[in-house]
Structure 1
């Protein structure tokens, strides 16, 4: 999966006065000059980690479900805290005093019942089970499944707020849980997760397994009485507005 920045820049409105700039680099580090921004905005990106925790092997995409208290959960939370802290520190250098930053993140409740409810992580756990099924059939190597870890983490709002509070560069102007937009059909959901994970899976297992993997995934998704009912979706979206303290 790649980003088509040429198309992105061509689609920008031509009648407005602004400067558009594309910068190569990881947004967890500083990208722009000091005190050069009045406003920063980051949407549905901060759940991506700089790397999957190496201590979380033998779990694959099944990072956590329901009760989140286990070793894998701790490893991912630690990495998320480190990466979010780096992002906040980098933006603190770029924002002028009093500048605002808005963050929009997919989040999850601290607990949900996996027997009757689901979140984004439930879809990923289902995808992990499909990889296990393919390993049992001998289609892919079981050892590769054991070493496949997805580099993202969906925090709870409480975890998110704690990390922000521990960063002394900002005051929280607004912290709000929004209604999660629900995907209308299993076909849309399968297509969404294929777009998001196809490059990662293809790099690890080979692109030739993708069609069969998501065919299995779509069938298992459609067969789940819990996952097909969108009223069972407990995924959250958290809106945060931060103000840069005087520096």
Structure 2
């Protein structure tokens, strides 16, 4: 049984993760951390991570970026592994996460979905086959109209996964509106669509002579990210110091 602290327990994702854990015999939320609490949780809730005195095997973090510094202080002091799901972190915070991971187990991924992380592996194999044969590579990502960043971190991670196995002269192209020239065969096009309540959709196209291969992932709710976070927490229980990602969970 994995005992977990839910950091950001009363946010949307914290509530979803709590519900998942309630129905999973292999993991239990033993404490929560959230500045706002109405008393609905079955476990004790602390307003700050530094006040938490409940022993746990792992922390699941789905809080605000401003709370990550205190969380990392706690993780380092208590030597408790942490799954970092919070986005919008600064370069300094990301550097701190890497530093802390040299002493404590830390898992951080661009996307917590098990499906997306499986696609990362598939794309590496596909790129090794299709790129040498002259197939053009394009990525189209779609998200809701409130998403601020574009392209998405996941789209960039998909491109990065392919670039790992491609020639160094491959590069990313985000905008062709000002170009009046033939497509460069070494570019990986990345396009962003924003509209409505789309949770997340990512398509990768390998376009060749007379054939197109499409690899697509659609998230219909944020529950897919919560399920991935729970799987990551169970994976991280008992792990030694190091920086892990979802690729390690599905390996």
Same fold flag (TM > 0.5): no
RCO higher in structure (CA 8 A, sep ≥6): 1
Relative to the length of structure 1, the TM-score reads 0.30
Higher percent of residues as strand: 2
Higher helix share: 1
